[in-house]
């Protein structure tokens, strides 16, 4: 299984256009909004979430560029973890494709469907089918996006476990964790790579920029998950522009590395 981290930042990316905080002005390598591409054979690719930056991400990734035919594309489908705008607006950028298969939790379909379906005949499903790979889904949160009027109880957020039976490689993608949910330890057991919610480092991080509480935003801070990560080669993604661990010289960054985890940049590739 081939894995490409197209984007590794939370909503707004880093630097964020309306922010002049230390990290946004520190001339760090830029990060686009969280999105992952996976493939069993290196020819057909599936997106895990579809960020508003997807056009630039595709054009900057040779494996995802169109060709050899004039309208031939290697994208085969999209798997959504939730209905948040930073994970779904990219579908509008892909409207020229004529529609792709989209897997999402049933609760997510209604608000996202009403937003994007008039721009393409999307094939919606609550079960993912990726040739050559086995996909499992675990509900992890009931946090509903602000724009969703539905009273559906959810689940609104899921994590994906993707296994390559040919190699035994296992990827777990969990960019949005409100807590450490029931069953998650079993879900990540023996995983080759876990892409874990790294939005915030500490629970009071947004206070400095007038933001709300991190748990209310649906993200478990790294300080809460790091003890469970210790000794595992996991990677944090969906990193917010306020997260001090973005700075390689910071003690927060050092703490992540000391636990055996990493904060991989955009464009990082894995073979599992």
Question: Which residue reads 């590395």 in tokens?
Answer: 257
Write out pLDDT tens, residues 217-226. Answer: 678 999 999 9
Write out pLDDT tens, residues 25-55. Answer: 999 999 999 999 999 999 999 999 999 999 9
DSSP state of 183: T
Topology of domain 2-271 in CATH is: Metallo-beta-lactamase; Chain A (3.60.15)
Confirm if 126 and 102 have CB atoms less than 8 A apart. no
pTM, full prediction: 0.94
Q: Tell me the mean pLDDT in the region 159-164.
A: 98
pLDDT of residue 175: 97
Q: What is the mean pLDDT of the chain?
A: 91
Angular region, 49: left φ>0, alpha ψ -120 to 50, beta rest: left
Among residues 240, 220, 210, 234, the alpha carbon closest in space to that of 143 is found at: 220
Write out pLDDT tens, residues 117-153. Answer: 777 778 888 888 899 999 999 999 988 888 876 677 7
Share of the chain above pLDDT 90, in %: 72
Please give the residue that has the higher pLDDT: either 71 or 39.
Answer: 39
Residue 190 binned pLDDT confidence (cut-offs 50, 70, 90): very high
Is the peptide bond preceding residue 99 cis, with omega within 30 degrees of 0?
Answer: no
Of the listed ranges 63-67, 95-99, 105-109, the least confidently predicted one is 95-99
pLDDT over 60 (residue 211): no
- Domain borders along the chain are 2-271
pLDDT of residue 113: 72
pLDDT over 80 (residue 2): yes
pLDDT over 70 (residue 209): no
pLDDT of residue 39: 98
pLDDT over 80 (residue 212): no
Which tokens hold the place of 160?
């994906």
Confirm if 261 and 2 have CB atoms less than 8 A apart. no
Which tokens hold the place of 224?
């809460």
pLDDT of residue 203: 82
pLDDT of residue 213: 57
Distance CA 169, CA 135 (A): 12
Please give the residue that has the higher pLDDT: either 112 or 137.
Answer: 137
Taking 3-state DSSP, the helix, strand and coil percentages for the chain, each rounded to the nearest 5, stand at: 25, 25, 55
Please give the residue that has the higher pLDDT: either 23 or 209.
Answer: 23
Q: Please list the residues that pair with 48 across neighbouring strands.
A: 36, 79
pLDDT of residue 108: 84
Q: Please list the residues that pair with 45 across neighbouring strands.
A: 75
* Strand arrangement, sheet containing 157-163: 134-141, 157-163, 170-174, 193-197, 235-237
Confirm if 201 and 245 have CB atoms less than 8 A apart. yes
Distance CA 77, CA 119 (A): 16
pLDDT of residue 184: 97
Residue 8 binned pLDDT confidence (cut-offs 50, 70, 90): very high
């Amino acid at each position: 299984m081939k894995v490409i981290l197209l984007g590794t930042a939370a909503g707004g990316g880093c630097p964020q256009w309306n922010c002049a905080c230390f990290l946004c002005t520190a001339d760090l390598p830029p990060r686009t909004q969280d999105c992952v591409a996976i493939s069993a054979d290196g020819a057909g690719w599936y997106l895990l979430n579809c960020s508003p930056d997807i056009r630039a991400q595709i054009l900057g990734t040779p494996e995802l560029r169109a060709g050899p035919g004039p309208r031939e594309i290697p994208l085969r489908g999209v798997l959504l973890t939730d209905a948040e705008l930073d994970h779904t607006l990219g579908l509008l950028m892909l409207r020229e494709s004529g529609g792709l298969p989209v897997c999402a939790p049933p609760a997510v379909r209604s608000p996202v469907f009403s937003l994007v379906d008039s721009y393409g005949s999307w094939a919606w499903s609550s079960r993912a089918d990726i040739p050559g790979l086995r996909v499992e889904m675990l509900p992890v949160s009931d946090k509903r996006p602000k724009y969703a009027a539905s009273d559906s109880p959810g689940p609104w957020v899921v994590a994906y476990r993707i296994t390559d039976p040919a190699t035994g490689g296992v990827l777990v993608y969990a960019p949005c964790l409100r807590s450490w949910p029931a069953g998650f330890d079993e879900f990540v057991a023996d995983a080759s790579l876990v892409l874990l919610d790294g939005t915030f480092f500490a629970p009071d991080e947004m206070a400095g920029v007038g933001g709300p509480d991190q748990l209310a935003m649906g993200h478990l801070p790294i300080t809460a998950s790091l003890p469970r990560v210790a000794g595992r080669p996991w990677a944090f993604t969906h990193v917010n522009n306020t997260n001090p661990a973005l700075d390689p010289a910071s003690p927060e960054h050092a703490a992540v590395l000391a636990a055996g985890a990493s904060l991989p940049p955009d464009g990082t590739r894995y073979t599992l």
